[in-house]
Amino acid sequence: MDIFTPEKRREVMQAIRGKDTTIEMMLRKKLWEKGYRYRKNYNKIVGKPDIVFPKYKIAIFCDSTFWHGYNWEEKKKRIGTNREYWIRKIEGNIERDKRINQELIAGGWIVLRFWETDIKKNLDDCIAKIEEAIQQRKSQINDG
């Protein structure tokens, strides 16, 4: 059952931001508090990652559960309004994310993708994974 009129749905969808989202801000704030400095919405590499450590070639994406298809096979069944459009849109996003990951990895980048739910519920775990990647790169730089 649809809870929005078409006008209200359009208003809601237009309010969704592509950068500086709540989940990005949560992750960035925690990294900043811990003394990490990064670039945001980095457009010098494919995919324009939300957070980047250029020195260490680490690209971080904060993926919303809807737009990036979290638990997609299950969620896809529940799309009611404009079904064909949304399935095509989300599956296109999933494929684009895979392609971006492959391109970045081929270019020597570490790619970290965090789901919205993980950032909100397990922020410290996300930070730990980022710190692990930084340490990995630091040791590679020192060894090389």
Please check whether residue 111 is in contact with residue 61, taking contact to mean a CB–CB distance below 8 angstroms.
Answer: yes
pLDDT, one tens digit for every residue, the chain (144 residues):
456 566 665 555 554 556 789 999 999 999 999 999 999 999 999 999 999 999 999 999 999 998 899 999 999 888 888 889 999 999 999 999 999 999 999 999 999 999 999 999 999 999 999 999 999 999 998 886
Q: Which amino acid is at 76?
A: K
Instruction: Return the pLDDT at 113.
Output: 98
Amino acid symbol at 63:
D
pLDDT of residue 142: 85
In this predicted structure, what is the pLDDT of residue 1?
44
Domains of the chain: 19-143 (3.40.960.10)
- Maximum Cα interatomic distance, the chain, rounded to a whole number of Å: 60
**Predicted pLDDT of residue 144:** 66
Q: Give the residue from 33, 35, 68, 34 showing the smallest Cα distance to 50.
A: 68
pLDDT at res. 48: 96
Burial class (CB in 10 A: 0-12, 13-18, 19+), 117: middle
pLDDT at 81: 85
pLDDT computed for residue 20 by the predictor: 83
